[in-house]
Structure 1
Amino acid sequence: MESLKNTEYYSDQTLKNWIENESMNEALANKADSIRRNIYGDDVYIRGLIEFSNFCKNDCFYCGIRKSNKNVERYRLLPQEIIDCADIGYKLGFRTYVMQSGEDTYYTDDMIVEIVEKVKENHSDTAITLSLGEKSYDSYKRFYDAGADRYLLREETSDREHYSKLHPSFMSFDHRREALWQLKEIGYQVGGGFMVDSPYQTTENLI
């Protein structure tokens, strides 16, 4: 068994051994905790999550709010209700908001811009993260210019074949990646990443 060295790169086989060998769990957790402490110390970062719609035009096979799921009680918040949530959160001490929804076509770019601008107008010392799914470059740019600071868009998997098992054929692995590069180019702090234990996931997918 290789020791956990202070380096960023390990062979695929080493990673496979670590992931699949449960006896390594404690050592890996301790190493991760050490890295976390070196970077963040013991600070706790709190975000106010405003889940404002669970309607979605997509049909991702793993997702509970996929459009074909008829057992979901759907809801939408009005723009003013979203702004009100931010006001309440501010009074409670939140200074970062994550505004998240399914890919809901009800909300136009003008509506999102209005919400972001109003929250920033009311609370200039806050940061806003949007998580609205795949949009056009122009939409991303408008949201950023309105005051959005960050954008969360999960890549979900870095393996093209695995991606095709999680999504219908009209969704594109390349388009998702291109969206992430566009967000970074515009100037957002970008959150991405993959899901752990998603359907059909293999150790090789994680690596």
Structure 2
Amino acid sequence: MNDLLDKLCQNRRLDRAEWRTLLEARHSLDRQDLFARGLEERRRWYGDQIYVRGLIECSNICKNNCLYCGIRRDNRSVTRYRLDRDTILACCGKGYGWGFRTFVLQGGEDPGLTPDWVAETVAAIKGRFPDCAVTLSLGEFDRDVYQLWFDAGADRYLLRHETADPVHYGRLHPPELTLAHRLDCLRNLKDIGYQVGAGFMVGSPGQSADTLAEDFCFLQDFQPHMVGLGPFIPQKDTPFAGEPAGTLEDTLILLSLVRLTLPKVLLPATTALGTIHPQGRELGIQAGANVVMPNLSPPAARDKYTLYDNKLCTGDEAAEHLAGLKQRLAAIGCTVAVHRGDFPNS
């Protein structure tokens, strides 16, 4: 396997057969060596600076019915909410005072978040905090909507592809959602000029070495600026409630492989990773991640954004405890960056 890792470290592509070979045998890799390689690549581009993003979960209303998601349309156990613009701006104001220079607006595909309303909200954030970046993660829309939001000042867009295998995609989503449309959205976003994030859940039902090989081939071809990668965690009110969660080991291995595949990528150590292990975030950073996203949402809303069970939203996951997060990062030799944390173009 070392020859394939060497090839990745030399910035050379693996073909689908090579990816399948590597991913089939990933649990036999020398993890200490793999994580050291991932850490070296992260340090080459970012040193020991970790970028922080202030996450604002602006709505848990969603028109879609994805089988894995706790805010899916048919989940009647969720107390639904939608933040108004003043509340979002107040969250940004608090975050700015604490040192955040990127705000992430994340939500379900909520018909109440109209294109014009989102554009006006983005423009308001950029007008009040012109030195900050705005990231959107609001789902699938037509190209003209994405253009509207970009013109309003949005800088980045997160849209996990979830899986690059169409059969696997169909197992995770209702029939009206297709992989082809998801990939069209990602291409449109990149063409417009966003810094674009793709990604997938580790250990999602039906995932295999074959589907993961498709994922890595897609990432090689698409070259996203960001990759969201965290373990699948079942949610009790979904059809996947009884499925096993993705593992810490697998998530860390795949984080390192993403870092080696896309050396400059913005790679979060996700809340889901921190949920399955108390040191999950730190271990992710030591495997090659360089972004963390503390929660800036109003405290009363945080436990309603139930994508999966037992989601962390307090302690050092909460933006107001940034000092605690800084201490935890310092313990592993890292510091919090005090700027927007854009993708390096050089």
TM-score (norm 2): 0.57
> Which of 93, 97, 109 does residue 99 from structure 2 map onto?
93
The residue aligned with 2:30 is 24
- Residues 109, 12 of structure 1: alpha-carbon distance in 2 compared, 3 angstrom cutoff: closer
- 1:57 correspondence with 2:63: yes
Identity of aligned residues (%): 48
Using the TM superposition, give the Cα deviation of residue 14 of structure 1 relative to its aligned residue in structure 2, in angstroms.
3.5
The residue aligned with 2:264 is none
CA distance in 1, matches of 2:30, 2:24: 9
AA partner of residue 49 (structure 1):
L
Using the TM superposition, give the Cα deviation of residue 26 of structure 1 relative to its aligned residue in structure 2, in angstroms.
2.5
CA distance in 2, matches of 1:118, 1:71: 33
- 1:106 correspondence with 2:112: yes
AA partner of residue 26 (structure 1):
Q
Contact 2:158-2:198 at 8 Å conserved across structures: yes
Using the TM superposition, give the Cα deviation of residue 13 of structure 1 relative to its aligned residue in structure 2, in angstroms.
4.6
Deviations 1:74-128 (A, max 9, x none): 2111122111111111111111011000000011111111111111111110000
- 1:9 correspondence with 2:9: no
Deviations 1:23-73 (A, max 9, x none): 532222221111111121100100000001111100110111111112222
Q: Which runs of 5+ in 2 are unaligned?
A: 214-346
Higher alpha-carbon deviation: 69-78 or 58-67: 69-78
Matches of residues 169-184 of structure 1 in structure 2 within 5 Å? 169-184=175-190
AA partner of residue 116 (structure 1):
V
**Please, what is the CA RMSD of the aligned residues?**
1.4
Higher alpha-carbon deviation: 177-186 or 3-12: 3-12
Contact 1:120-1:126 at 8 Å conserved across structures: yes
CA distance in 1, matches of 2:20, 2:179: 26
CA distance in 2, matches of 1:123, 1:150: 16
Matches of residues 88-167 of structure 1 in structure 2 within 5 Å? 88-167=94-173
Contact 2:136-2:156 at 8 Å conserved across structures: yes
AA partner of residue 182 (structure 1):
N
Q: Which runs of 5+ in 1 are unaligned?
A: none
> Which of 184, 191, 194 does residue 185 from structure 1 map onto?
191
CA distance in 2, matches of 1:99, 1:17: 36
TM-score (norm 1): 0.94
The residue aligned with 2:87 is 81
Contact 1:184-1:190 at 8 Å conserved across structures: yes
- Residues 13, 2 of structure 1: alpha-carbon distance in 2 compared, 3 angstrom cutoff: farther
- Residues 142, 13 of structure 1: alpha-carbon distance in 2 compared, 3 angstrom cutoff: closer
Contact 2:66-2:72 at 8 Å conserved across structures: yes
Using the TM superposition, give the Cα deviation of residue 198 of structure 1 relative to its aligned residue in structure 2, in angstroms.
1.1
AA partner of residue 21 (structure 2):
T
Task: Detail structure 1 runs of 4+ shifted over 2 Å in the superposition.
Answer: 1-4, 6-10, 23-27
AA partner of residue 159 (structure 1):
D
CA distance in 1, matches of 2:89, 2:54: 12
CA distance in 1, matches of 2:32, 2:76: 41
